[in-house]
Amino acid sequence: MLLSSCASREPQVCSCPQIPAILTAHLDKSSFKGKTYGDVTEYAVILKRERDMCLNRVDKIREWQAEQLQN
């Protein structure tokens, strides 16, 4: 049995849109060089700020994906 209906179809080409480069840019990683509890608390604030920057980027990527699905 031949599957002639499959032979006449053109292959589907799907293109994936490129994520904007600003959303995937490198973020610097802060290293801890402290020795006191005060240094630890300062580092915790730095880590929280870096985490917030990453979460913001993830949110922006999700917004971008939603826009791409609507178009």
User: What is the per-residue pLDDT for 36?
Assistant: 97
C-alpha to C-alpha distance for 20 and 58, rounded to whole angstroms: 12
Measure Cα distances from 46 to 4, 26, 39, 54, 71 in Å.
Answer: 64, 17, 11, 13, 38
Mean pLDDT of 21-45: 91
Q: Sketch the domain layout of the chain as residue ranges.
A: 16-70
Banded model confidence at residue 21, pLDDT cuts 50, 70, 90:
confident
